[in-house]
Amino acid sequence: MSDCFENLIVQKLALLTELNDPINPSLYQTYDVKRGLRYADGRGVLVGLTQIGDVIGYDVINGEKIAVPGKLIYRGYDVEDLIKDTATHKEFGFEQTVYLLLFGELPNRRQLDEFKSYLGSRRVLPENFTEDMIMKAPSPDIMNKLARSVLASYSYDSQAEEPGVANILRQCIDLIARFSTFAAYAYQAKRRYYDGKSMYIHNPVPELSTAENFLRLIRPDKQYSLLEAEVLDLALILHAEHGGGNNSTFSIHVVSSTDTDTYSAIAAAVGSLKGRRHGGANMKVMEMMDDIKANVRHWDDRDEIRQYLRRIVRKEVFDHTGLIYGQGHAVYTISDPRAILLRDKAAELAQEKGMMVEYNLYRAIEELAPEVLAEEKKGDKKICTNVDFYSGFVYTMLNIPRELYTPIFAISRIAGWTAHRVEEVISGGRIYRPAYKNVLEPRVFVPIEQRK
């Protein structure tokens, strides 16, 4: 880049900064703007209807939000019942969850077996895809490579633009099957080209579950324990769907409403999920926990833990934002059911891995953080621990590298995304077009010869 061009960029950045000064907050009230499509009390603006999932954290009675224990609903069923059924039958449940979300009904044994068999048969990537689309252009960020793999899949589909629902379902199921392979191979390429480590490309095994296959693909020796696969399967079930209003799923509705192709819509959702405010949230939890573990000398001393959390809230330590990551949620108030279910299963894994001391530190923070936040913020807003607080710890115990945390989220949430894409195609019928109010005053045009 030439010096002249660099100077031009510096000048224009200054101009852009001046032109895009923060908008006066009072204007949002003047024009009744729902920032982030939320009301002032945090409730989301109702922009659509769905029959896929529901997130329950409060009731609204006479216009007032009343906190209730959290529930996560898939197609009318409480996710806790799905997980109990999985445990009762001693089998992996993510594939049944995918079937339910896509088709709207629980499968019988024959239907489930046939669906699992079909998913297994579609995990292998198309011929030359791994070499041409993943290995020849590796990425330091696996989410970017995942998005590219989705878009590249368009070129391997002779019916990529066919708009029929049956064809869209085929495309969705193929992507669900291949997401774990995309992510695992992207990770291996990243290891080789960016980390200088050995790369291991294993073939997926059709008979294995999504959780088993993923652990097999990312490990050099392809080995994993039953409990490890069960814990990852649970995490996949819990992250598979979260209503139509979360950012990445809403992206699916917005982009699908334009009548674009499946690959473009899913790639948009991947880009949304990559964001640190969305799918990358558990990474912030892990960074915070690294800091806590380095600065709290006695992990069993609740007073010492409480005092350090207090310093975090006061912006004295860690990243100086005043946030205790993994605490609070846009919808859940009293409890996040996903956090509870994952926390209880994590205890089993911590016992097996000899990590109960660290697990107990997490439990102590879960109990102390709401108290500290209430005391320091001097408010009565109910704060609960969310699933991001425990998911990173679980993945750590599974020896999964941090760069794969958000891709695992995508491997799971592709189930909900595709269900919402099909719903938008069938029931939407109208392109999303919200309004923005321009608050910049008109300016007198200046001819070029008169500009300074």
Residue 278 bears catalytic tag: yes
- Smallest CA-to-CA distance from 194 within 125, 130, 137 is with 137
Here the tokens at position 347 are: 């205890």
Amino acid (1-letter code) at residue 112? L
Residue 89 bears catalytic tag: no
Q: Which of 242, 329, 336, 420 is catalytic?
A: 329
23 in Cβ contact with 439 (< 8 Å): yes
Residue with tokens 């990173």: 392
Residue 329 bears catalytic tag: yes
188 in Cβ contact with 200 (< 8 Å): yes
Distance CA 180, CA 222 (A): 15
The DSSP-derived string for 189-242 is HHHHHHS------PPP-TTS-HHHHHHHHHSTT----HHHHHHHHHHHHHHS--
Distance CA 271, CA 35 (A): 21
Q: Is 321 helix (H, G, I), strand (E, B) or coil?
A: coil
Distance CA 378, CA 366 (A): 19
Here the tokens at position 264 are: 């473009």
Provide the strand spans (E) within 75-114.
77-78
Q: Is 49 exposed, middle or buried (0-12, 13-18, 19+ CB in 10 A)?
A: exposed
**For helices 302-313 and 356-377, angle between their N-to-C axes, nearest 10 degrees:** 50
Distance CA 91, CA 93 (A): 6
Q: Which of 253, 336, 388, 420 is catalytic?
A: 388
Distance CA 48, CA 131 (A): 41
Q: Which of 278, 298, 303, 344 is catalytic?
A: 278
| Residues 6 or more apart whose Cβ sits within 8 Å of residue 124 | 181, 203, 204
Residues designated as active site: 278, 329, 388
